[in-house]
Structure formats: C-alpha cells, structure tokens
Amino acid sequence: MTVQENPQPLQTSAPGLRVLAVDDVPAALDDLCSLLREAPEVASVTAAADPLDALRSIRGGEYDAVFLDIAMPGLDGLELGELLRKLATPPVIVFVTAYDEHAIAAFGIGAVDYLLKPVRAERLADALGRVARMASADEQPPRAGADAPVPDAMAALPVEVGGRTRYVQRSEVRFAEAHGDYVRLHAPSGVHLVRMPISRLEEYWEGAGFVRTHRGFLVALSAVRELRSDSVGGVLAHTDLGDVPVSRRHARQLRERLLKAAQQGEFERPT
C-alpha cells in the first residue's frame, strides 16, 4: 500500500503505521517484513539490512515504529535504539530477537515490546496495538525526517577485552586493518578486534576523516604525519603507531585529502 500525503492526522480506524524493520539476517528480515505487511495496522514497511541502512532510512523518511533485531555486527540493536531515542521525535521501538536475556535493557531504553523469534502473528498484533496506541497518543508533532539530525552511529565501537565490553572511541583510532571478517583497530590503547568487514567500516567512517589507502587499510587523515617511500618505490602513510601501505590506486586521492585537511586545519589531535 502506498502512503499518500495527507495533512490530516491518521485516523485510528484506518491502517496508517509506517514501519522500519531492521535485521542483518536476510531470511529473518524477509519473514518479519511479510508479517508486518499482512497486518491491517500497517501502511508501509521499509527493510534495512543493518544499522547503517536503518540510519539512512530514518534520515530520509518518517516512521512511526522501528522493529529492531539485537544481535547485529558493529552496532547492535540496543545501541541503535539508544541513538534513536535521542532524536527530536523518536519512533516507537519494538525489539525482535532470538535471545530473552536483553529484555530488561530493552525496556530500559523505552521499548514498548520485546518479541522472541520466531515471531507469532498474534504476538506481533499485540505489539502493533501498543505501537498504534503510542502513535495515536501523539498530537501529530513534527516527525524526524530529512531535516532532523541523526546521531553519529559509530563515534565508538564496542570491543571485547578479557570478557568485558569496552568502547574504543573513533578519535583514538589511527588506522584500521582488515583481518578476514574482522578489522583491527590500531589505537594508543592497543590493537582491538571488531567483527565487521573493512568495507562496512569505511561506509561508517568515510565522512569522519578516514580514507581507504589500500584494499586492507583505512587511515585517519589527522593521524598521518608524512608520506614515505618504501624500499620498492611504494608509498607509506606514517602514523605514530606505524606505517600504513598506500596502493597506487589510492595514492592520489590520499594526497588530495591530506592537502585539503591541512588547509582546513584538521591535523590537531590530543596527545
């Protein structure tokens, strides 16, 4: 069903919920979207395959509710929910997960329901009823859309250290190195392993001063002290934590970005 532009408030007697579904497992996402589209309360469903896609969708559209998976690489559903809660007009949040141990945390950030996979149609109907009541309780305030600021999703990344989760600030990271399905974050606090392909990290961080220098490396522009030649005529980007290889393909772009950053005074970094 296509959502029509209508200056009048949605009537509770007609379907009208705009829903965003987020899950990194394609089959689970398809199942959830199918269930949502069959629900009479729902006017439109948008699918997002990961938190980055979800944030892009929220930046470009308006949603009454977000149905979130929890276990996702890079940024999990709870962390994404925390970000959504900071919006001027946050959508209603429903978590959909295979794990029951996160319920307290989920309700702690304001979720209206917590659904366990596989989702039963009757439980989904209960959740949509709660969402509809929350949506109808709003007196049509301005909704988060293209003009609303979306919180920075990746200013910090969770890493496991000795059985504990700590957060590595993006501003600490000098460069990132691909390691299979993981990346190694090189920071003064050590080398931290994060489950995320480097191509996805590049998507998250390319607008925050990180640039690809090689198939397997990203470097923070502010961390580059100089460009050096290696023993075979290649280029290395020197940082205080080591040298980062620069492929011929990426060398020109890196030089241009470094020049622009220098002109804009972007090389100051706390010691």
Element (H, E) at 266: none
Of the segments 20-34, 56-70, 108-122, which one has the largest average pLDDT value?
20-34
CATH number where 213 lies: 2.40.50.1020
Beta bridge partners of 161: 164
Closest listed residue to residue 48, CA positions, set 73, 23, 70, 25: 23
Q: Is residue 79 part of a domain?
A: yes
Does one domain contain both 116 and 72? yes
Spatial distance between the Cα atoms of 102 and 114, rounded to a whole number of angstroms: 9
Structure confidence by residue, pLDDT tens digits, 156-195: 777 777 667 677 889 999 999 999 888 999 999 999 988 7
Structure confidence by residue, pLDDT tens digits, 105-162: 888 888 888 998 999 888 999 899 989 988 776 534 444 444 445 556 567 777 777 6
**Burial per residue of 136-158, b for 16 or more beta-carbon CB atoms within 10 angstroms, e otherwise:** eeeeeeebbeeeeebeebbebbe
Q: Is residue 251 part of a domain?
A: yes
Does one domain contain both 258 and 176? yes
Q: Quote the pLDDT of residue 153.
A: 56
- Whether 105 and 14 have beta carbons less than 8 Å apart is answered as no
- What is the layout of strands, in order, in the sheet containing 242-246? 226-229, 235-239, 242-246
Q: Is residue 145 part of a domain?
A: no
Does one domain contain both 180 and 211? yes
Q: Is residue 46 part of a domain?
A: yes
Total count of domains within the chain: 2
Q: Percentage of the chain with pLDDT > 90?
A: 38
108: left (phi over 0), alpha (psi -120 to 50) or beta: alpha
The parent domain of residue 169 ranges over: 156-263
Q: Quote the pLDDT of residue 136.
A: 75
Structure confidence by residue, pLDDT tens digits, 234-268: 899 999 999 999 998 898 889 988 888 777 766 55
Q: Which of 137, 172, 192 is where one domain is finished?
A: 137
Region 65-92: mean pLDDT is 88
**Residues 6 or more apart whose Cβ sits within 8 Å of residue 248:** 234, 235
Q: Quote the pLDDT of residue 268.
A: 53
CATH number where 118 lies: 3.40.50.2300
Phi, psi (rounded to 5 degrees) for 127: -65, -40
Looking at every residue in the chain, the average pLDDT score rounds to 82
In angstroms, what CA-CA distances link 132 with 84, 178, 200?
18, 44, 34
Q: Which of 137, 166, 194 is where one domain is finished?
A: 137
Does one domain contain both 112 and 50? yes
What is the SS3 assignment for 24?
Answer: coil
Q: Is residue 3 part of a domain?
A: no
Does one domain contain both 132 and 21? yes
Structure tokens at 185: 């974050």
- Whole-model pTM: value is 0.56
Residues of the chain by 3-state class (helix, strand, coil), percent to 5 = 30, 30, 40
Position with higher pLDDT, 200 vs 23: 23
Q: Quote the pLDDT of residue 16.
A: 86
